[in-house]
Amino acid sequence: MPRWKLSTEFTFDSAHYIQDYDGPCGRIHGHTYRVLVEATADRLYPSEHTPHPSMVADFKTLKWAKKDVTQGGLDHALLNDILPEGYHTTAELIAQYIHDETKRRVPDGVKLKVTVWETPTSWVEYEDD
């Protein structure tokens, strides 16, 4: 059976604080988040930009979080004000949020893995079967 794996990487700058954290991370601070989105599928799909089944997912769709907060992304946002209730702003839950929001935007048969670097040496991976 054929299988395609598509990967795209981007960054965005945002601020956050970890609610009820006893230490410096409990104060507002910023990061340049680096994100890797990997999408796999055993068939190709159309997208909002092409009616032909010729891609796993559109790169534009996978990079939605890179957009400015005023355009529906996460760039230059205070993440505590953007993420829904239940998503504290730890790297783990930021990765889950990006995964969940991306999953809503791609065809049902596409599997996703999201990696988020909060610093150059600290990252988290999230995928959901």
| Six token digits for residue 109 | 């048969």
31 in active site: no
What is the fold of 4-127?
Tetrahydropterin Synthase; Chain A (3.30.479)
Q: Are strands 45-47 and 122-127 parallel, antiparallel or unpaired?
A: unpaired
Q: What residues contact 61, with CB distance under 8 A and at least 6 apart?
A: 47, 48, 102, 105, 106
* Mean per-residue pLDDT over the chain, rounded: 96
Which of 9, 16, 25, 101 does the annotation list as catalytic? 25
For the chain, what are the domain ranges? 4-127
49 in active site: no
Which of 16, 31, 99, 118 does the annotation list as catalytic? 118
pTM of the model: 0.95
Which of 76, 88, 92, 101 does the annotation list as catalytic? 76
First to last CA, the chain: 19
25 in active site: yes
Q: What residues contact 115, with CB distance under 8 A and at least 6 apart?
A: 35, 36, 38, 95, 123, 124, 125, 126
| Six token digits for residue 100 | 């969940």
- 129 has pLDDT over 80: no
Tens of pLDDT, residues 94-114: 999 999 999 999 999 999 999
Q: Residues 54, 16: contact at Cβ < 8 Å?
A: no
Tens of pLDDT, residues 29-76: 999 999 999 999 999 999 988 999 999 999 999 999 999 999 999 999
